[in-house]
Amino acid sequence: MQDHNNLKTFEDEFRSFFLLYMMNLAFAVLPMAFGVTIMVHELVPGAATSPAGLPGVPAAATLLIGGVAFVLGLVWITVTARIMKSVKVLRTAYRKRKQQEMSDEEITGMMIHLMTQYREQKPVIRVMVVVAIAGGICYLLLGISNLISVVTAVLSIAPSEPAAVLVPTFIASAFNLVIGIFCIRVSRGFRRYAKAWDARLDALARSEGELGQMLEKA
């Protein structure tokens, strides 16, 4: 007989786990794109209509900043993608078993597998949570900035200027705000699940310790 509460718990925890990794993959692309853009602008000034490099920053420093940003993004996307492989294996196994009614033992086994992965990758996962929260805050600030620009423009707009020109900025603001809120909510939800996993792992460690003491006395 399948315990639907345990199944829902596993699905919620795994979804949070998977979304955290996906967000880190997405955020890892941003510094790579930033690094490539400013390096191309510096090395090939004619490649863009905007001035090459960063305003007020020497060319050598611009190249260094771009290179560091690119390398950091590349390293982080490599780390995240490597960890994602084991997550995809678990997701594939879950989808196959879900086609039939899963037993409580199978659900428990998958929950243990998820906790084991969390324990083995805990230092990296903690950084992932920080990256996701920082990325969400950046999107929130960008969305608020865009929204302020729209409100300011509406209040000062000339009667002859069509308000439709502000629609793209408003859409971008809404888009950034939604992404920011989503990232922060997922990160906070994951931290809640992480506390539950830590409690389970502590209980499991105590049980193993008690069992070891019993075997030593036997």
Q: Residue 137: which residues within 8 A CB-CB, separation 6 or more?
A: 180, 184
pLDDT band, very low/low/confident/very high, at 48 (cuts 50, 70, 90): very low
Helices 167-217, 104-120: axis angle to 10 degrees equals 100
Average pLDDT of the chain to the nearest whole number: 77
More confident residue, 138 or 51: 138
pLDDT digits 0-9 by tens, 105-120: 788 888 888 888 888 8
**CA distances, 127 to each of 5, 90, 196 (Å):** 30, 22, 18
Q: Determine what percent of the chain is predicted with pLDDT higher than 90.
A: 0
Sequence spans of domains, the chain: 4-217
Residue 148 has pLDDT above 80, yes or no: yes
Residue 41 has pLDDT above 80, yes or no: no
Tokens of 59: 């060319």
Contacts 24+ apart (CB under 8 A), 66-69: 66/34, 66/35, 66/36, 66/37, 66/38, 66/39, 66/42, 67/35, 67/39, 68/35, 69/31, 69/32, 69/34, 69/35, 69/38
Tokens of 187: 């990160």
DSSP the chain: ---HHHHHHHHHHHHHHHHHHHHHHHHHHHHHHHHHHHHHHHH-GGGSSSPSS-TTS-HHHHHHHHHHHHHHHHHHHHHHHHHHHHHHHHHHHHHHHHTSPPPHHHHHHHHHHHHHHHHHTHHHHHHHHHHHHHHHHHHHHHHHHHHHHHHHHHHH--TTS-GGGGHHHHHHHHHHHHHHHHHHHHHHHHHHHHHHHHHHHHHHHHHHHHHHHHHHH-
pLDDT band, very low/low/confident/very high, at 52 (cuts 50, 70, 90): very low
pLDDT score at 29: 83
pLDDT band, very low/low/confident/very high, at 50 (cuts 50, 70, 90): very low
pTM of the model: 0.72
Q: What is the mean pLDDT of residues 28-40?
A: 81
Residue 217 has pLDDT above 80, yes or no: no
Contact 48, 21 (CB under 8 A): no
Q: What is the signed CA dihedral for 101, 103, 107, 113, rounded to 10 degrees?
A: -110
More confident residue, 6 or 218: 6
pLDDT digits 0-9 by tens, 149-183: 878 877 775 544 556 667 777 888 888 888 889 88
